[in-house]
Structure 1
Amino acid sequence: MSDIMGRARARGVTRLCHCTKSANLSHILGSREIRPVATLREAADAYRPADIQRLDGAPDHTFLSVEYPNAWYQSQAADRDPHFRDWVVLTLDAELLATPGARFCPYNSARDGSCGALPGTEAFDALFAPTVTGNAARKRERAHPTWWPTDDQAEIQIPGTIPLSAVRSVIVRNGQQAALEHHRLTQFGMAALLPPLVVAPVLFDKRALSASVRSGIRPPETPYVLRATLAE
């Protein structure tokens, strides 16, 4: 086990998360991987970018968060594209933290073009510093869990692609969206590739999610059970 993984396990970190528009799910399943923007551009693949500004300056990296999604970023990105409002959260193996070249930024890296995104154990530990200054100073209060970064928008930047095999589940806002995503992928012949669907509305509410996790309360997540229609 790497030093970073040892630190993550000691803190109780169980998973990583990646936000994307639901319109990109079929592309991820079809290619069997999550690809960074730079790779998608080179391949001229059909995809709908979540962030056209890319102030982070790292299009060759895939952005993840620790344990829960960056709902603040997701909310802002969704507002920029009113025609595609459905988003999903992919949960991934925590072992990706040990990926060679992985970088860690204790705040949203769009603030400084990823200057604060650094590799190594010290950079990982900085995610959980007593105080982190991004767009404002964030402090760890008494109830702040060990597994949650000090700033809600802390990032992990993974170079290159991430295999579909690292995806553990796909989280959606409600049961209606879960049924719709399953139907869409069935139409594309990709339902068999879809990781388990999970319903967790709080993960799409930036204020509710922040209040919950910063007090150490894990929001409820309910596995989606597909209701088969019986032929008469």
Structure 2
Amino acid sequence: MVDLLSRSGRLNAAYDLIQSMPVEPHAGAWGALLGACKLNGNIELGELEVNDVLMAIDHVIDLGLASPSKLAVLGGSHGGFLTTHLIGQAQDKFVAAAARNPVCNLTLMVGTTDIPDWAYGSEGQNSFTDAPSAEHLTFFQSKSPIALVSKVKTPTLFLLGAQDLRVPVSTGLQYARALKEKGVPIKVIVFPNDTHAIERLQSDFESFLSIVVILLGEFDAFAFHVFINHHDAQ
């Protein structure tokens, strides 16, 4: 029923139905609603994905399954978009973050990504053009994690594939540089021969090893480190 209401554009009704469920709504219900929010351009509801994650975290803490002082967040691609939004909107929630090829600035993807309609579709716009309007660019900027970068305090690791055609490496580098300028501890690791997935064996191993190191708290403070990996598996 949630899916039917969402597909028909009755987003508020779908949301009310989820809220009134006598049992915990499953992920599919929220996914149907959030997907419809993006397609219909309902930005207020579309931002519920951030609040949804924060509510889930608070629930896990209330159950005694996590410590509020030891929370970290990790995401890649659109998950990186959500990760960087989370550290911008919940500045004191996470002790560390890691983002693999994150979408940090939608304006930098217009006309450069290999899926040019994605930026428009993800934020409820209906058309794509190689010469986007100033209005669209302003809108994309306002909905991007980069718009909240001045609020971020969380030490963050960036894992970027230099050959990424899906999310241009410039979007992650721009966000990382902005954090560096305001004194937030960061590390940037660029894999020169990797694409969006960072799936080459050596690169995949080194990226997740770096994440483990960060989660263990071994984060060099207040420095802008760019590590270029020259040891990718052939």
**Common topology (TM > 0.5):** no
TM-score by length of 2: 0.24
TM-score by length of 1: 0.24
In terms of fraction of residues, the more helix-rich structure is 2
In terms of fraction of residues, the more strand-rich structure is 1
